[in-house]
Amino acid sequence: MPALVSKSLRDYRRALLGWTIGISAFFGLYLAYYPTIVSNPELYGQVALTKFPGAMRDLMGGLEDGFTSGPGYLQTLVYQLFGPMLFIMCAAVIGNRAIAQPEETGTLELVLTLPITRGRLVLERFAALALALFGMAAVTFLVVLGLASAVGMDVPADRILAGHTGVFLLALFFGTLCLTVGAVTGRRGVALAVVGVVAVAGYVVETMGRDVDGVSWLRWISPFHYYLDGRPIQQGFPAWEYLVLAGAIVALVLTAIPAFDRRDVGV
């Protein structure tokens, strides 16, 4: 493993461990509550959920399968909003520590004195980001898989893997976006702001755009569209949508390399 990748992973280890434990605990809390939901269909069944305001139903993914089915519960409370947003927050923190944060604190100048090109620095920081998120995704996948089986959700393992793969790609997209904005501007506040705006706007556009014709066309530029529209928990791997997300990640990396290479960072 390249030295800069391994060093970056060591630097991220505490944050990564904390996020992994926190997200696993979050998933565990909600999944452990599933038997209670199933035993109270009058409160959480499909008929009861029709009483939710339309806008709330849209933001929660439509609640088409209700809470009392395993796929519906898993999709709504783990893979629709809360799980992806937690992963995105972690990805933004790590992505910000790739270039923008060390540049603002003055430590990036020391790294650039090493005999490596700027393009290699960007690639190895990206590799560390991808490996960190992959490790967190692998651990939390096992947590969800084990708990879903324990509480009797009856969701196939390949569907959970499909959902978790989508969460990983979505988080990696936003982490790479943060890295790229940091490479272009050198400002961690700007990078976090861009990620926050794109994440919130992208989610709202994807969920609300299904019923609002005026913004429905914007769904095609929302990264959430290529994660949620394929319905991985219900239908399995949406290969085309995931390839689009992967392509967008590659495009961001290819944007970051020349942008960072042209900038004066005070060396």
Token pair recorded at residue 141: 């996948």
> Is the backbone of residue 263 left (phi > 0), alpha (psi -120 to 50) or beta?
beta
Provide the mean pLDDT of the chain: 86
Q: How many CA atoms lie within 13 A of 51 on its CB side?
A: 6
For 74, 133, 168, 232, 236, the CA distances from 240, given in Å and listed in that order, are 23, 22, 16, 12, 12
Token pair recorded at residue 148: 């879903």
DSSP 144-210: HHHHHHHTT----HHHHHHHHHHHHHHHHHHHHHHHHHHHHH--HHHHHHHHHHHHHHHHHHHHHTT
Range of the domain at 82: 3-262
**In the predicted model, what is the mean pLDDT of residues 160-166?**
95
Eight-class DSSP state of 265? -
pLDDT per residue as tens digits for the range 2-49: 888 998 999 899 999 999 999 999 999 989 888 887 776 665 555 445
Residue 89 within any structural domain of the chain: yes
pLDDT per residue as tens digits for the range 42-92: 655 554 455 554 454 555 554 555 566 788 888 888 888 889 999 999 999
For 81, 104, 163, 164, 218, the CA distances from 228, given in Å and listed in that order, are 10, 36, 9, 12, 14
Calculate helix-pair angle for 157-185, 239-262, nearest 10 degrees: 20
Give the total number of structural domains in the chain.
1
Q: How many CA atoms lie within 13 A of 88 on its CB side?
A: 26
Residue 188 within any structural domain of the chain: yes
Residue 267 within any structural domain of the chain: no
Which of 92, 131, 108 has the alpha carbon at shortest distance from 2?
Answer: 131
Token pair recorded at residue 259: 């942008």
